Structure 1
Amino acid sequence: MATAYQNLSAYDFDSVPDASEMTIGIVVAEWNKNITEKLLVGAINTLEKHGVKSENIIVGRVPGSFELTFGAKRLAESKDLNAVIILGCVVKGDTPHFDYVCSGVTQGVTELNLMYDIPFIFGLLTTDTMEQSEDRAGGKHGNKGDEAAITAIKMIDFSCKLQN
Protein backbone atom coordinates (compact mmCIF):
# COMPACT_ATOMS: atom_id res chain seq x y z
CA MET A 1 0.00 0.00 0.00
CA ALA A 2 1.29 3.45 -0.82
CA THR A 3 2.71 5.40 2.12
CA ALA A 4 0.32 8.27 1.37
CA TYR A 5 -2.50 6.02 2.63
CA GLN A 6 -0.71 4.53 5.62
CA ASN A 7 1.32 5.87 8.53
CA LEU A 8 4.65 3.99 8.70
CA SER A 9 4.58 4.23 12.50
CA ALA A 10 1.02 2.95 12.97
CA TYR A 11 0.64 -0.67 14.06
CA ASP A 12 -1.16 -2.80 16.61
CA PHE A 13 1.23 -2.90 19.57
CA ASP A 14 -0.26 -6.15 20.84
CA SER A 15 0.38 -7.90 17.53
CA VAL A 16 4.15 -7.55 17.98
CA PRO A 17 5.90 -10.52 19.61
CA ASP A 18 8.08 -10.14 22.71
CA ALA A 19 11.56 -9.11 21.59
CA SER A 20 13.37 -9.27 24.94
CA GLU A 21 15.65 -12.13 23.84
CA MET A 22 16.47 -10.70 20.41
CA THR A 23 19.74 -9.20 19.22
CA ILE A 24 19.39 -6.94 16.21
CA GLY A 25 21.95 -5.17 14.06
CA ILE A 26 21.27 -1.90 12.33
CA VAL A 27 23.39 -0.59 9.47
CA VAL A 28 22.74 3.06 8.70
CA ALA A 29 24.08 5.24 5.90
CA GLU A 30 25.75 8.53 6.81
CA TRP A 31 24.68 10.12 3.50
CA ASN A 32 21.56 12.25 4.06
CA LYS A 33 22.35 12.05 7.77
CA ASN A 34 19.56 14.50 8.63
CA ILE A 35 17.14 11.77 7.51
CA THR A 36 19.00 8.56 8.36
CA GLU A 37 19.63 9.53 11.97
CA LYS A 38 15.88 10.05 12.44
CA LEU A 39 15.27 6.60 10.94
CA LEU A 40 17.84 5.15 13.33
CA VAL A 41 16.28 6.81 16.38
CA GLY A 42 12.86 5.54 15.32
CA ALA A 43 14.14 1.98 14.90
CA ILE A 44 16.00 1.94 18.21
CA ASN A 45 13.07 3.43 20.16
CA THR A 46 10.66 0.91 18.66
CA LEU A 47 12.96 -2.06 19.33
CA GLU A 48 13.41 -0.98 22.95
CA LYS A 49 9.68 -0.39 23.34
CA HIS A 50 9.18 -4.07 22.46
CA GLY A 51 11.81 -5.35 24.86
CA VAL A 52 15.10 -5.41 22.97
CA LYS A 53 17.83 -4.48 25.44
CA SER A 54 19.95 -1.50 24.38
CA GLU A 55 23.11 -3.64 24.58
CA ASN A 56 21.48 -6.04 22.10
CA ILE A 57 21.11 -3.36 19.44
CA ILE A 58 24.33 -3.22 17.43
CA VAL A 59 24.67 -0.15 15.20
CA GLY A 60 27.13 0.16 12.34
CA ARG A 61 27.53 3.19 10.09
CA VAL A 62 28.60 3.21 6.45
CA PRO A 63 29.32 6.21 4.20
CA GLY A 64 26.39 5.85 1.80
CA SER A 65 23.44 3.74 0.81
CA PHE A 66 25.36 1.67 -1.73
CA GLU A 67 27.62 0.46 1.10
CA LEU A 68 24.68 -0.75 3.20
CA THR A 69 24.72 -4.30 1.87
CA PHE A 70 28.43 -4.79 2.53
CA GLY A 71 28.02 -3.30 6.00
CA ALA A 72 25.06 -5.58 6.70
CA LYS A 73 26.97 -8.64 5.51
CA ARG A 74 30.00 -7.84 7.68
CA LEU A 75 27.80 -7.11 10.69
CA ALA A 76 25.99 -10.43 10.27
CA GLU A 77 29.30 -12.27 9.98
CA SER A 78 30.92 -10.63 13.00
CA LYS A 79 28.06 -10.66 15.52
CA ASP A 80 25.49 -13.24 16.64
CA LEU A 81 22.38 -11.45 15.37
CA ASN A 82 18.77 -12.45 14.88
CA ALA A 83 18.23 -9.84 12.12
CA VAL A 84 19.85 -6.85 10.43
CA ILE A 85 17.95 -3.66 9.64
CA ILE A 86 19.26 -1.59 6.75
CA LEU A 87 18.53 2.16 6.89
CA GLY A 88 19.35 4.71 4.23
CA CYS A 89 17.94 7.47 2.09
CA VAL A 90 18.37 8.05 -1.64
CA VAL A 91 16.75 11.15 -3.15
CA LYS A 92 16.28 11.28 -6.91
CA GLY A 93 18.49 13.76 -8.70
CA ASP A 94 19.16 14.75 -12.29
CA THR A 95 21.33 11.74 -13.14
CA PRO A 96 20.71 7.98 -13.29
CA HIS A 97 22.79 7.54 -10.11
CA PHE A 98 19.53 7.17 -8.12
CA ASP A 99 18.45 4.20 -10.23
CA TYR A 100 21.79 2.42 -9.91
CA VAL A 101 22.03 2.87 -6.16
CA CYS A 102 18.42 1.87 -5.47
CA SER A 103 18.64 -1.15 -7.74
CA GLY A 104 21.97 -2.25 -6.28
CA VAL A 105 20.80 -2.01 -2.67
CA THR A 106 17.50 -3.73 -3.44
CA GLN A 107 19.26 -6.61 -5.19
CA GLY A 108 21.90 -6.76 -2.45
CA VAL A 109 19.34 -7.03 0.34
CA THR A 110 17.51 -9.75 -1.58
CA GLU A 111 20.75 -11.69 -1.96
CA LEU A 112 21.57 -11.33 1.73
CA ASN A 113 18.15 -12.70 2.64
CA LEU A 114 18.81 -15.74 0.46
CA MET A 115 22.42 -16.29 1.60
CA TYR A 116 22.00 -16.04 5.37
CA ASP A 117 19.73 -17.68 7.89
CA ILE A 118 18.54 -14.37 9.37
CA PRO A 119 16.29 -11.68 7.92
CA PHE A 120 17.73 -8.51 6.43
CA ILE A 121 15.14 -5.73 6.59
CA PHE A 122 14.90 -3.17 3.77
CA GLY A 123 14.61 0.27 5.34
CA LEU A 124 15.89 2.34 2.42
CA LEU A 125 13.91 5.44 1.56
CA THR A 126 13.81 5.97 -2.21
CA THR A 127 12.12 9.30 -2.76
CA ASP A 128 11.74 11.96 -5.41
CA THR A 129 12.33 14.87 -3.01
CA MET A 130 13.90 15.63 0.35
CA GLU A 131 10.44 16.66 1.58
CA GLN A 132 9.15 13.13 0.86
CA SER A 133 12.08 11.75 2.86
CA GLU A 134 11.34 14.05 5.78
CA ASP A 135 7.69 12.98 5.67
CA ARG A 136 8.86 9.34 6.09
CA ALA A 137 11.48 10.01 8.77
CA GLY A 138 9.18 11.15 11.55
CA GLY A 139 7.03 13.52 9.50
CA LYS A 140 3.43 13.28 8.38
CA HIS A 141 3.79 9.69 7.16
CA GLY A 142 5.48 8.41 10.32
CA ASN A 143 8.94 6.86 10.50
CA LYS A 144 10.24 4.09 8.23
CA GLY A 145 12.65 3.20 11.06
CA ASP A 146 9.67 2.20 13.22
CA GLU A 147 8.30 0.06 10.41
CA ALA A 148 11.67 -1.63 9.83
CA ALA A 149 12.00 -2.44 13.55
CA ILE A 150 8.54 -4.02 13.70
CA THR A 151 9.29 -5.98 10.53
CA ALA A 152 12.53 -7.28 12.06
CA ILE A 153 10.78 -8.46 15.23
CA LYS A 154 8.00 -10.16 13.28
CA MET A 155 10.41 -11.85 10.86
CA ILE A 156 12.54 -13.18 13.72
CA ASP A 157 9.40 -14.54 15.34
CA PHE A 158 8.32 -16.07 12.01
CA SER A 159 11.68 -17.81 11.66
CA CYS A 160 11.64 -19.08 15.24
CA LYS A 161 8.17 -20.56 14.85
CA LEU A 162 9.34 -22.52 11.81
CA GLN A 163 12.23 -24.04 13.81
CA ASN A 164 9.93 -25.38 16.54
Structure 2
Amino acid sequence: MLVLGESYAVIMFVSKAFFLGRAQDQLFNAVFRQEGVNLVYVEPKGKSRSFAQSVYKGVSSRLSKEGMLRYIVSLPLNLVPMVGTVLFLLYNGSKAGPTFHTRYFQAKGMLPATRQAFVDKRKGAYTAFGAATLGLNLVPVVGPLFTLTSTVGAALWACDIEKKEREPK
Protein backbone atom coordinates (compact mmCIF):
# COMPACT_ATOMS: atom_id res chain seq x y z
CA MET A 1 0.00 0.00 0.00
CA LEU A 2 2.86 2.37 0.73
CA VAL A 3 4.28 2.02 -2.79
CA LEU A 4 0.80 2.35 -4.31
CA GLY A 5 0.28 5.50 -2.26
CA GLU A 6 3.53 7.02 -3.46
CA SER A 7 2.86 6.18 -7.09
CA TYR A 8 -0.68 7.53 -6.73
CA ALA A 9 0.66 10.90 -5.56
CA VAL A 10 2.96 11.24 -8.57
CA ILE A 11 0.41 10.01 -11.12
CA MET A 12 -2.38 12.21 -9.77
CA PHE A 13 -0.16 15.29 -9.71
CA VAL A 14 0.78 14.85 -13.36
CA SER A 15 -2.68 13.79 -14.55
CA LYS A 16 -4.48 16.59 -12.68
CA ALA A 17 -2.03 19.14 -14.04
CA PHE A 18 -2.50 18.20 -17.68
CA PHE A 19 -5.81 16.40 -18.01
CA LEU A 20 -8.06 15.65 -15.07
CA GLY A 21 -8.63 19.14 -13.66
CA ARG A 22 -10.37 20.50 -16.74
CA ALA A 23 -12.12 17.19 -17.44
CA GLN A 24 -13.51 17.12 -13.90
CA ASP A 25 -14.93 20.63 -14.27
CA GLN A 26 -16.54 19.78 -17.60
CA LEU A 27 -17.97 16.52 -16.24
CA PHE A 28 -19.41 18.29 -13.21
CA ASN A 29 -21.11 20.90 -15.40
CA ALA A 30 -22.38 18.23 -17.82
CA VAL A 31 -23.98 16.26 -14.98
CA PHE A 32 -25.66 19.44 -13.72
CA ARG A 33 -27.08 20.10 -17.19
CA GLN A 34 -28.20 16.48 -17.56
CA GLU A 35 -29.96 16.54 -14.19
CA GLY A 36 -31.62 19.87 -14.95
CA VAL A 37 -29.88 21.78 -12.19
CA ASN A 38 -29.27 25.31 -13.38
CA LEU A 39 -26.09 26.06 -11.49
CA VAL A 40 -22.97 26.75 -13.54
CA TYR A 41 -19.87 28.57 -12.34
CA VAL A 42 -18.68 31.19 -14.81
CA GLU A 43 -15.22 32.66 -14.50
CA PRO A 44 -14.99 36.46 -14.55
CA LYS A 45 -14.61 37.77 -18.10
CA GLY A 46 -11.44 39.44 -19.25
CA LYS A 47 -9.17 36.97 -17.51
CA SER A 48 -7.01 35.30 -20.11
CA ARG A 49 -4.40 32.85 -18.94
CA SER A 50 -1.33 31.31 -20.45
CA PHE A 51 -0.97 27.53 -20.55
CA ALA A 52 1.35 27.62 -17.51
CA GLN A 53 -1.15 29.71 -15.53
CA SER A 54 -3.97 27.31 -16.43
CA VAL A 55 -1.92 24.31 -15.30
CA TYR A 56 -0.97 26.06 -12.06
CA LYS A 57 -4.59 27.02 -11.33
CA GLY A 58 -5.80 23.48 -12.00
CA VAL A 59 -3.21 21.92 -9.73
CA SER A 60 -3.30 24.51 -6.95
CA SER A 61 -7.09 24.42 -6.68
CA ARG A 62 -7.11 20.65 -6.12
CA LEU A 63 -3.72 19.85 -4.60
CA SER A 64 -2.80 22.07 -1.69
CA LYS A 65 0.58 22.08 0.03
CA GLU A 66 -1.17 21.18 3.27
CA GLY A 67 -2.95 18.26 1.59
CA MET A 68 0.21 16.87 0.02
CA LEU A 69 2.10 17.20 3.32
CA ARG A 70 -0.72 15.46 5.21
CA TYR A 71 -0.77 12.69 2.60
CA ILE A 72 3.01 12.12 2.70
CA VAL A 73 3.20 12.25 6.51
CA SER A 74 0.33 9.75 6.83
CA LEU A 75 1.71 7.27 4.26
CA PRO A 76 3.59 5.29 6.94
CA LEU A 77 0.22 4.40 8.50
CA ASN A 78 -0.01 1.84 5.70
CA LEU A 79 2.80 -0.11 7.36
CA VAL A 80 0.44 -1.11 10.18
CA PRO A 81 -1.35 -4.23 8.94
CA MET A 82 -5.03 -3.71 7.97
CA VAL A 83 -5.89 -1.07 10.57
CA GLY A 84 -3.25 1.34 9.26
CA THR A 85 -4.65 1.39 5.74
CA VAL A 86 -8.16 2.02 7.03
CA LEU A 87 -6.91 4.88 9.21
CA PHE A 88 -4.94 6.28 6.27
CA LEU A 89 -8.01 6.24 4.02
CA LEU A 90 -10.30 7.77 6.66
CA TYR A 91 -7.81 10.45 7.70
CA ASN A 92 -7.08 11.58 4.16
CA GLY A 93 -10.63 10.93 2.98
CA SER A 94 -12.04 13.37 5.52
CA LYS A 95 -10.07 16.14 3.83
CA ALA A 96 -10.33 14.88 0.24
CA GLY A 97 -14.11 14.36 0.20
CA PRO A 98 -15.08 18.04 0.15
CA THR A 99 -12.61 18.79 -2.66
CA PHE A 100 -14.86 16.89 -5.06
CA HIS A 101 -17.55 19.52 -4.43
CA THR A 102 -15.26 22.48 -5.14
CA ARG A 103 -17.12 23.22 -8.36
CA TYR A 104 -20.46 23.06 -6.52
CA PHE A 105 -19.24 25.45 -3.83
CA GLN A 106 -18.00 27.84 -6.52
CA ALA A 107 -21.30 27.67 -8.40
CA LYS A 108 -23.24 28.38 -5.20
CA GLY A 109 -20.91 31.29 -4.43
CA MET A 110 -20.21 29.92 -0.96
CA LEU A 111 -17.77 31.84 1.20
CA PRO A 112 -15.19 29.79 3.13
CA ALA A 113 -17.11 29.99 6.44
CA THR A 114 -20.38 28.93 4.79
CA ARG A 115 -18.61 26.13 2.94
CA GLN A 116 -17.03 24.85 6.17
CA ALA A 117 -20.40 24.85 7.95
CA PHE A 118 -21.93 22.98 4.98
CA VAL A 119 -19.15 20.36 5.11
CA ASP A 120 -19.27 20.05 8.91
CA LYS A 121 -23.00 19.31 8.71
CA ARG A 122 -22.22 16.39 6.37
CA LYS A 123 -18.85 15.35 7.80
CA GLY A 124 -19.58 11.61 7.87
CA ALA A 125 -20.78 11.55 4.28
CA TYR A 126 -17.78 13.55 3.07
CA THR A 127 -15.36 11.31 4.98
CA ALA A 128 -16.93 8.13 3.57
CA PHE A 129 -16.96 9.56 0.04
CA GLY A 130 -13.36 10.76 0.30
CA ALA A 131 -12.11 7.45 1.75
CA ALA A 132 -13.86 5.41 -0.95
CA THR A 133 -12.57 7.73 -3.66
CA LEU A 134 -9.02 7.60 -2.35
CA GLY A 135 -9.17 3.80 -2.11
CA LEU A 136 -10.34 3.53 -5.72
CA ASN A 137 -7.72 6.01 -6.90
CA LEU A 138 -4.97 3.79 -5.46
CA VAL A 139 -5.79 1.05 -7.97
CA PRO A 140 -2.88 0.99 -10.42
CA VAL A 141 -3.42 2.12 -14.02
CA VAL A 142 -7.18 2.83 -13.70
CA GLY A 143 -6.93 5.23 -10.74
CA PRO A 144 -7.35 8.36 -12.89
CA LEU A 145 -10.44 6.79 -14.48
CA PHE A 146 -11.90 6.32 -11.00
CA THR A 147 -11.24 10.02 -10.37
CA LEU A 148 -13.59 10.81 -13.24
CA THR A 149 -16.27 8.40 -12.04
CA SER A 150 -15.96 9.87 -8.55
CA THR A 151 -16.44 13.34 -10.04
CA VAL A 152 -19.67 12.18 -11.67
CA GLY A 153 -20.77 10.70 -8.34
CA ALA A 154 -19.97 13.94 -6.53
CA ALA A 155 -21.91 15.93 -9.13
CA LEU A 156 -24.94 13.63 -8.79
CA TRP A 157 -24.71 14.01 -5.01
CA ALA A 158 -24.58 17.81 -5.38
CA CYS A 159 -27.61 17.67 -7.68
CA ASP A 160 -29.52 15.69 -5.06
CA ILE A 161 -28.58 18.22 -2.38
CA GLU A 162 -29.65 21.08 -4.62
CA LYS A 163 -32.98 19.44 -5.51
CA LYS A 164 -33.74 18.76 -1.82
CA GLU A 165 -32.98 22.38 -0.95
CA ARG A 166 -35.39 23.58 -3.64
CA GLU A 167 -38.26 21.31 -2.57
CA PRO A 168 -41.12 23.07 -0.81
CA LYS A 169 -41.19 22.23 2.86
TM-score, length-scaled by structure 2? 0.41
**Structure with greater proportional strand content:** 1
TM-score, length-scaled by structure 1? 0.42
Larger Cα-atom Rg: 2
**Structure with greater proportional helix content:** 2
